Amino acid sequence: MSVTLPSSVDAWREVRARRSFQGQLPLSAFKRLADVVASPEGDVSYELDFGRDDLGVAYVAVRAKASPTLVCQRSLEPFQFPVEVDAVLGLIVEEREEASLPPGYEPLLLEQDGKLDPLAAIEDELLLALPLVPVNPDAELPEDVNAPEEEELPSSQDPSDNPFAALRGLIK
């Protein structure tokens, strides 16, 4: 098991060695993720396990935990959103190999040389786990949105104000 995460690994060599990486990185180390969150503060705990399953399928298991700060689209206030990723990525070199992956495996398309950026693999899974429209479940709508205005309250209307009243008279 390695604590430091290299910038690039040979995925096939890591699979043969059944290598694992585990550690913690600042959220700011993930550039694309830092661009979509409200604040790049915080850490990401990760674990990568390379290996082969009983069917001989090469995989990398990605587990990560983080609590990035997102902006609630209901209240426009920042809030912590806990994210936990647990994915098994089947390593493939050609797109047609995707069909042969067992159920529960997500495809990870590698270059012909087998190089893999582990940081990017973790970041991709974290980005997929974020909500498209973040909403704090504890947020409430502002008062002016919740309370109907006086003009919107139903009032007793005169039936002659109804535009269909004239049509009703024509039908009879």
Residue reference for tokens 């290996």: 51
For 157, which DSSP code?
A: -
What is the pTM for the complete model shown? Answer: 0.76
CA separation for the pair 108, 101 (Å, rounded): 11
Q: What confidence score (pLDDT) does residue 92 get?
A: 94
CA separation for the pair 120, 8 (Å, rounded): 10
Q: What confidence score (pLDDT) does residue 62 get?
A: 97
CA separation for the pair 108, 62 (Å, rounded): 11
Q: What confidence score (pLDDT) does residue 148 get?
A: 58
Predicted confidence (pLDDT) per residue in 91-114, tens digit: 999 999 999 999 999 999 998 899
Q: What confidence score (pLDDT) does residue 150 get?
A: 56
Low-confidence residues of the chain: pLDDT under 70: 1-3, 141-160, 172
